């Protein structure tokens, strides 16, 4: 095996002579990689918008019919693992539509959002992206996140979990039409959850 410094530019292997399944496989692989790169750029941009408090621009990443959902997590036995997360319509931490998200963002500028005045400093780290295209053109995507929040002099919190998104192209641009946020912790010991994940 050649050493890494012996390698030239990394390129996909050449398809076998005569094309066939090998060439088709490379085409599918290239399309999957292109989609992954496109979605990873989408999620990186979203993280920066949140960290730089560009919340109006962040809202534009969602469709008009979005469901922004954070279920409650329960401790259950292995045989009841299907009950670990509360379903939509049951008691949840968040179950919001686009209008409610817009109201939350607008409230930050009213001076009445005491938990965010002065505003929190956040760092959103997003990774472990897996994406599955659907036949209707939408994409199911799952990412892991770490969000660090610092507030005032000594308040801080670290939140971890995953996000399961349904993405749809609107006028050639990816938008989130459903987001399910699953926290790793089942009890939040913090004073509030006033930042977006």
How confident is the model at residue 192, as a pLDDT?
A: 77
Encode pLDDT of 21-37 as tens digits: 667 777 878 889 999 99
For 74-94, what is the mean pLDDT? Answer: 89
Quick check: 162 and 173 in contact, CB under 8 A?
A: no
pLDDT surpassing 90 at residue 4: no
- Give dist(CA 151, CA 120) in Å, integer: 5
Q: State the pLDDT confidence band at 155, using cuts at 50, 70 and 90.
A: confident
Give SS3 for 122.
strand
Encode pLDDT of 124-144 as tens digits: 999 999 999 999 999 999 999
Chain mean pLDDT for the chain: 87
- What are the CA-CA distances from residue 20 to residues 11, 24, 29 (Å)? 20, 6, 15
- Give dist(CA 136, CA 122) in Å, integer: 35
Q: State the pLDDT confidence band at 113, using cuts at 50, 70 and 90.
A: confident
Strand partners for 94: 70
pLDDT surpassing 80 at residue 116: yes
- Give dist(CA 70, CA 88) in Å, integer: 9
How confident is the model at residue 168, as a pLDDT?
A: 98
Sole residue written with tokens 């954070």: 70
Domains of the chain, each with CATH number or no CATH: 16-183 (3.10.450.50)
pLDDT surpassing 90 at residue 19: no
Encode pLDDT of 160-182 as tens digits: 999 999 999 999 999 999 999 99
How confident is the model at residue 25, as a pLDDT?
A: 73
């Amino acid at each position: 095996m050649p050493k890494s410094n012996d390698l030239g530019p990394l390129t996909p292997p050449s398809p076998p002579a005569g094309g066939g399944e090998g060439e088709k496989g490379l085409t599918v692989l290239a399309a999957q990689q292109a989609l992954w790169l496109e979605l990873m750029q989408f999620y990186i941009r979203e993280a920066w918008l949140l960290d730089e408090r560009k919340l109006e621009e962040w809202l534009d990443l969602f469709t008009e019919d979005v469901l922004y959902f954070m279920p409650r997590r329960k401790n259950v036995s292995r045989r009841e693992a299907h009950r670990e997360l509360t379903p939509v319509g049951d008691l949840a931490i968040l179950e919001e539509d686009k209008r409610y998200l817009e109201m939350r963002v607008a409230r930050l500028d009213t001076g009445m959002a005491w938990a965010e005045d002065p505003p929190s400093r956040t760092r959103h780290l997003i990774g472990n992206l897996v994406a599955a295209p659907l036949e209707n053109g939408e994409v199911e995507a799952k990412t892991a996140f770490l969000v660090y929040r610092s507030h005032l002099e000594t308040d801080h919190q670290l939140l971890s979990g995953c996000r399961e998104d349904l993405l749809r192209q609107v006028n050639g641009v990816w938008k989130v039409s459903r987001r399910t946020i699953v926290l790793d912790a089942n009890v939040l010991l913090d004073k509030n959850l006033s930042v977006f994940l």
